[in-house]
Amino acid sequence: MIDFGIPGKGFFGLNINCASSSSKKTSVRGILSINDGTASVEQIETELNHIFSDMTWEWKVKKLNDREFLVSFPSKNIIRQLSRPNSFDFDCFQIKAVWLRQL
C-alpha cells in the first residue's frame, strides 16, 4: 500500500499489486571453459539440449573469448550436476570442457 496525507487536508491511499520475487524465474549463470577442441555457441546449446533432453529450457550461451562461454541455467541444481566432474566430454561433438565457476 502506498499512501500520502497532509494534516487537515485529507488522505489518499492506493493499492498496488506487485509480483512477489519468488514467482519470478531467475537463471543461474556459469562459465564454461573449453579444454580441447573448438566450440561455438550453437554447439554448446545443442549439447545442453542433448544432456537435459527431459526438460524445456531456452539455453542462453554467450561467447566470452575463444575458450570461455557464459551459460544461463534454470537452477543451481542443474549447474551442480555438470560441475561435479573436473571435466566432461561432449556427446555430440569432439569437445572437452570444464566449469570454471558459477556466477
Find how far residue 3's CA is from the centre of its chain: 37
- Higher-confidence residue: 25 or 98? 98
The answer to whether domain 25-102 has CATH 3.30.160 is no
Q: How would you classify the pairing of strands 88-89 and 68-73?
A: unpaired
Put residue 84 in one of left, alpha, beta given phi > 0 → left and psi -120 to 50 → alpha.
Answer: alpha
Question: pTM for the whole thing?
Answer: 0.69
Q: Is the pLDDT reported for residue 58 higher than 60?
A: yes
pLDDT in tens, 65-95: 999 999 998 888 887 777 777 788 999 999 9
Do the beta carbons of residue 39 and residue 98 sit within 8 Å? no
Q: How would you classify the pairing of strands 28-36 and 10-14?
A: unpaired
pLDDT class of 64 with cuts at 50, 70, 90: very high
What span, in angstroms and rounded, lies between the C-alpha atoms of 92 and 87? 16
- The percent of residues in the chain predicted with pLDDT above 70, rounded, is 72
